Amino acid sequence: MFKKLVIVFISLFGILLAVPTLSPKLAPYFPSWIRPIPLGLDLKGGAQLLLEVDTDVMLKEKSAQLYDEVRSALIDRSKGVIRFSDLRNTGNSVTLVVRESDEVSKAKGRLRSVLGNAVDVASSGKNLTITYTAKAREEMVQDAMSRSIEIVRRRIDALGTKEPSIQSQGGKYILVQLPGVDNPEHIKELIGKTAKMTFHLVNENITSEQLASGHAPSGTLFLEYMENPGQKIPVYAHVEVSGDSLKNSEASFDQNNMPVVTTEFDTSGARRFAKLTTEHVNERFAIVLDDKVLSAPTIREPIPGGRGQISGNFTLQSAKDLAVLLRSGALPAPLEVIEERTVGAGLGADTIATGKIGSVVGVLFILVFMAMLYGIFGLFADIVLIVNLLMIIGVSALFGATLTLPGIAGIVLTLGMAVDANILPFERIRDEVRSGVPTLRAVDYGFTRSTKTVLDGELTNLICALILFQFGAGPIRGFAVTLSIGVATTLFTCLLLTRVFVDWYMNGKSKKIGYIRNK
C-alpha cells in the first residue's frame, strides 16, 4: 500500500510542476523553482547573432607574451645572464642575436627548458628564432573558442536572458540564439567588449609637449581617458596587476550615493595590489579597460585587503554592466558580430497555435482508440497518458529545458511510445486469460512478463536520445532532452501508475475483463 501511495504522490507532484506552464497566471503563487517552461527561439521569437572570434589578434598577443618570456629567461640572474641583442617580435615569432657564439647552445637549451614543448627554437649562426608549434597554436585557438563561448554564456545569463543557445560553428564562429529578445543592441555591446582590465602606474615625468606630440617614449603608453576622450593619460606599459586576478565585482554606491564598482582580488592579486598601493602612496595609478583609462586615482593609503573601488561617471546600469563584464572575465580574443537576425513573435504564435491543434487532435485520436480497444483498461491508459504528458511538461520546466518545435515533436513521439508501452501488458494479459489463467493472475503475469520488453524498447530510445544530445546541437538537442524526459516518465507511468489503477479495479479478485474475447 505504501508503494502505491508513493507512486500516486510522485504523479501528483509531476502534475503540480506543470501547472505554471498550463496557467501562467498561477505562476506567482508557486515557489520560485517551479516556473513555466520557457519557449525557444522558434516559438517565442527573439534574436540570433553570429559572432566571429578574431584568433589572429589573440595569437599576436601570445607572441607578445612570448617576447617577455624569452627576455626573462635569458636575463635570469639565478641561472646566469645570457647576453643578446636585437630582440624583436615579428608578430608570428620572436627573433634575437646571441652575442657570444659559445652561448648559442646554452640559450637554446634554456629557452626549451623554460618554454617547454609549446615552442620551436631554431638557430642560424648567432640568430635564434622562437615560434609556437603548429600544435600549440591549434590548441590556443581551440582554447580561445571554448573560453569565448563560456564567457559569452556567463555574460548573457548574468543579464537575465533565459535559456540562450550558444554553440561553436565552423571553427571560429559562435552562434548565439536569444529567445524573447527583440532589441539585442545592448546585449551585442556587452558581448563584444573584450573587458580586459589592467592596473598601471601613471608616468608623471611626461611633459605636456610630449603628450601633444603623440609620440610616447619607450615603455610608456598614451591611452585615451574615458571621461574625456580628447585627453591622453601617460601610463607605464608594465602591468602591475592584471584583471585576471579579479575574484568578484559588484555594482554598489559610495558615500556620496554615487554608483561605483567594487572589486575583490584573489590571493595572488591581493598581494600584488597591496604591494602596489604600499610602495606608491601619493602616486597615481591607472585602471585601464580595453586600452582606455577608466580612472586614474591617487593612492592615498595602502590597500592590503585586496578590495578596491572603481569610480567614474557611472549610471547604475553602466556600473552593473561593468561589474558583469569584469566578473565574467576578459575575452581571450575580440568578437565581431557578422550576422544578426530577428525572429518575430508572430511566427512563434502561429507555430504554437498550429502545434496545439495538431497535438490536441493527435491525443484525442489516441484516447478514443485506446478506450474503444481496451475498455476500462483503455480508460486507465488514457488517464496515465494525460498524466505522462503533464509530467513531461513539469519535469522539463523543473530542469530548465526550453520548449522548441522539435521539442513538441519529441513530446508527440513520447506519447506514441507510451501507448505502445501500455498495449504490451494488455495484450499479454489477453494471451494469459485465453490460455486458461485466472484473470487476477493473468494481470500479474501480463505486467511482470512484459516489463523486460518495455524496458528494452524505452532504453533503446534513451540511448538514441543521449547520442543525439551528445553530438547534436540547437534544435536536435532540444528534441533529445524532451525525448529523454519522456522515456523516464513513460517508464514510471506505464509500468507503475497503470498497475496501480488496474490493481485498484481488480481489488484482489478475479474479474471478467471486458476487452478479452474468447476465440
* Same fold for the pair 2-37+345-506 and 196-306: no
Tens digit of each residue's pLDDT, the chain (519 residues) = 788 888 989 999 989 998 988 888 888 888 877 888 877 777 777 788 888 888 888 888 788 888 888 888 888 878 888 999 999 988 888 999 999 888 889 999 898 888 888 889 998 998 999 999 999 888 888 888 887 887 787 777 654 445 577 888 877 888 888 777 766 776 777 676 666 778 899 998 888 888 888 888 888 999 988 777 788 999 998 888 877 777 777 888 877 888 888 878 777 778 888 888 888 888 888 888 778 887 787 887 887 877 777 776 778 877 777 776 666 666 777 888 888 877 665 555 676 677 668 778 877 888 888 888 888 888 988 999 999 999 999 998 888 777 777 777 888 888 888 888 888 888 888 888 888 888 888 888 888 888 888 888 888 989 988 898 877 766 677 788 888 898 999 999 988 898 888 888 888 777 777 666 554
Which CATH number is associated with domain 196-306?
3.30.1360.200
Domain residue spans of the chain = 2-37+345-506, 55-137, 196-306
3-class SS at 296? coil
User: Alpha-carbon distance 112 to 16, whole Å?
Assistant: 63
> Model-level pTM?
0.56
Cα torsion angle, 31, 32, 34, 39, sign = positive
Nearest CA-CA partner of 388 in 352, 419, 355:
419
User: Alpha-carbon distance 447 to 445, whole Å?
Assistant: 6
Could you please state the CATH topology (level 3) that the domain comprising 2-37+345-506 is classified under: Multidrug efflux transporter AcrB transmembrane fold (1.20.1640)
Q: Does domain 55-137 have CATH number 2.60.40?
A: no
- The DSSP line for 174-243 is EEEEEET-S-THHHHHHHH----EEEEEB-TT--HHHHHHT-PPTTEEEEEETTEEEEEEEEESS-SEEG
Q: What is the pLDDT of residues 151-201, one digit of tens each?
A: 787 777 654 445 577 888 877 888 888 777 766 776 777 676 666 778 899
In contact, 119 and 111? CB cutoff 8 Å: yes
DSSP percent split of the chain into helix, strand, coil, nearest 5: 55, 20, 25
Q: What is the pLDDT of residues 155-168, one digit of tens each?
A: 776 544 455 778 88
Rg (CA), the chain: 33
In contact, 115 and 130? CB cutoff 8 Å: yes
**Residue for grid cell 523486460:** 452
